[in-house]
Structure 1
Amino acid sequence: MRRTLYRLLIELTNGRFTSYVLRKFAQSRLSSIIIPSYAKVFHIRQDEMEKDLKEYGTLHELFTRKLKKGKRSIDTEVSSIVSPVDGVFADHGPIDQAKMFEIKGKQYSIVDMLGTEERAARYAGGTYMVIYLSPSHYHRIHSPLSGTVTERFVLGRKSYPVNAAGMKYGKDTLSKNYRSVTEIESEGERLALVKVGAMFVNSIELLHEREVVQKGEEMAYFTFGSTVVLLFEKDMIEVVQSLTSGQEVRVGEKVATRL
């Protein structure tokens, strides 16, 4: 009953019109009124921001802020895979031969997530990794490794929340939400960087249009907090053993090693 009610409320409030209204507000000068309280409530790290808080004219500008130079360093180890975002490391594990994985007790389909059986087949027997971004985090997305972009595509329309309640009661949030996917080939192996939209504001803006991408290079940004899912081919990586669910990670921090 609780799950049904939750989903009904989301469906009633998560349409194109409500998304449009919220986006317009966040991009308006009127939204600047709540920036100080927003920064306080969500404990924004103002010492890391490129500009002073009062220089952001809209919430959208604050959401998509850049960092001061030198605030993030990219792991230089040739075999390292780095975190593409600042966020909370939610989980990692195997993708089974049926192209499914489980997180928080729920099963997710790689076929649904990537849109076709052909795309999903590459990751059967591989590894998944999930990193959640809250509204407090830096929202820009960087490449976890160097390689060549083989495909970019967008799937889905609506988005359930990706917070704890959304993951528990939502309907296949990671594989059915609005999502922007970038596949990168590196040393003959494939990685899928799945950028999952958050409730109401589905905007994921791509900044990188070239074929070649370098580890740590900026690729896109979320308009609001959301989630990144990384999918790796079989026997491609080994996740850093010290990583645990709920741990904070930062852009450029080593999260796995190439095998």
Structure 2
Amino acid sequence: MIQGLYRLMIELTNGKWTSSLLRRFARSRASRFVVPSFARIYQLNVDEMEKSVSEYPTLHDLFVRTLKNESRVIDRSEDSVVSPVDAVIEDIGPIKETSEILVKGKTYSIEEMLGDQEVLSKYLNGTYMILYLSPSHYHRIHSPVDGTVTKQWTLGAKSYPVNKLGLKYGVRTLAKNYRVITEVKTSFGHVAIVKVGAMFVNSIETTHKGSELEKGGEMAYFSFGSTVVLLFEKNTFQVEAAIQTPKDIKVGEKIGVIHK
């Protein structure tokens, strides 16, 4: 029953007012009473948390928790691209010349997702990767590459579920949800890191300072589960051969290599 309540609360609520109320509750001191049960239901790895469960004063603090040093090992190979999040890689594929991608049998438009014609042209015929974070995942977002932020912008208002069912049956969730897009210039081309909200308007917070990003360095966090879409320019990225979707992945693990 409790698990069903959490699923209803986190995965199905998307209205402006209900989301606002839930957001306020998650940040309130009253929410501390559900922290232990949430950690238990979603089987959070308490051994890697920087604090014990009892030390989180609100549910929001638990969602955006940091980890102990060395909990994640970053692949430092010069040509590697690493996972920016703990997540499930749900889909990988080509971006068509028309800007379309096919995800769970549904067609999405990269043009609509990015909302910028000039930026879009770089990624036509490139590669996309979709990483889904459930409520149980560590919610901090790290840079998949070394590079310089050239542009960052926000689009969308409402946020609908972006889990497997949301991707399959939702209405253009990846292209319509509230999202924060960061474009990074690297030594091999540009990478767009699209952080897609699952619920709660403004549930994505950037944390990096300045324009320089280091591979594996923290750059943002989600409140609640969500999705990251990575976009690579044509002929710049090769997916790690061992990856078959769906694939559980952690921050810093190698997801592919670059082509300079």
Aligned-pair Cα RMSD in Å: 1.2
1:82–1:13: structure 2 CA closer, same or farther, 3 Å change rule? closer
| 1:209 shift after superposition | 3.1
Question: For residues 125 and 61 of structure 2, what CA distance do their matches in structure 1 show?
Answer: 40
| 1:171 shift after superposition | 0.5
Question: For residues 209 and 111 of structure 1, what CA distance do their matches in structure 2 show?
Answer: 28
What amino acid is aligned across from residue 30 of structure 1 in structure 2? Answer: A
Residues 146-175 of structure 1 show CA distances to partners (whole Å, capped at 9, x for unaligned) of 011000100000011011221122110111
3-state DSSP class of the match of 1:151?
A: strand
Residues 68-217 of structure 1: pairs in structure 2 closer than 5 A: 68-187=68-187, 189-200=189-200, 202-217=202-217
| 1:245 shift after superposition | 1.1
What amino acid is aligned across from residue 61 of structure 2 in structure 1? Answer: E
Question: For residues 52 and 237 of structure 2, what CA distance do their matches in structure 1 show?
Answer: 40
Preserved CA contact (<8 Å) 2:82 2:145 = yes
What amino acid is aligned across from residue 111 of structure 1 in structure 2? Answer: E
1:76–1:186: structure 2 CA closer, same or farther, 3 Å change rule? same
1:201–1:224: structure 2 CA closer, same or farther, 3 Å change rule? farther
Residues 97-124 of structure 1 show CA distances to partners (whole Å, capped at 9, x for unaligned) of 1111101001111110000222111100
Q: Within the alignment, does 1:38 sit opposite 2:38 as a pair?
A: yes
Preserved CA contact (<8 Å) 1:81 1:256 = yes
What amino acid is aligned across from residue 131 of structure 2 in structure 1? Answer: I
Question: For residues 140 and 37 of structure 1, what CA distance do their matches in structure 2 show?
Answer: 21
Q: Which runs of 4+ in 1 moved over 2 A?
A: 12-16, 199-202
1:106–1:160: structure 2 CA closer, same or farther, 3 Å change rule? same
Q: Within the alignment, does 1:14 sit opposite 2:9 as a pair?
A: no
Question: For residues 141 and 45 of structure 2, what CA distance do their matches in structure 1 show?
Answer: 17
Partner of 1:253: 253
| 1:13 shift after superposition | 5.6
Preserved CA contact (<8 Å) 1:22 1:201 = no
Residues 67-114 of structure 1 show CA distances to partners (whole Å, capped at 9, x for unaligned) of 000100110100000000001011101001111110100111111000
Question: For residues 225 and 130 of structure 2, what CA distance do their matches in structure 1 show?
Answer: 14
Question: For residues 202 and 162 of structure 2, what CA distance do their matches in structure 1 show?
Answer: 12
What amino acid is aligned across from residue 216 of structure 2 in structure 1? Answer: G
Aligned sequence identity (%):
54
Question: For residues 13 and 206 of structure 1, what CA distance do their matches in structure 2 show?
Answer: 23
| 1:202 shift after superposition | 4.2
Gaps of 5+ in 2: 1-11
Question: For residues 164 and 148 of structure 2, what CA distance do their matches in structure 1 show?
Answer: 34
What amino acid is aligned across from residue 24 of structure 1 in structure 2? Answer: R
Partner of 2:23: 23
Question: For residues 240 and 91 of structure 2, what CA distance do their matches in structure 1 show?
Answer: 12
Preserved CA contact (<8 Å) 1:159 1:202 = no
Gaps of 5+ in 1: 1-11
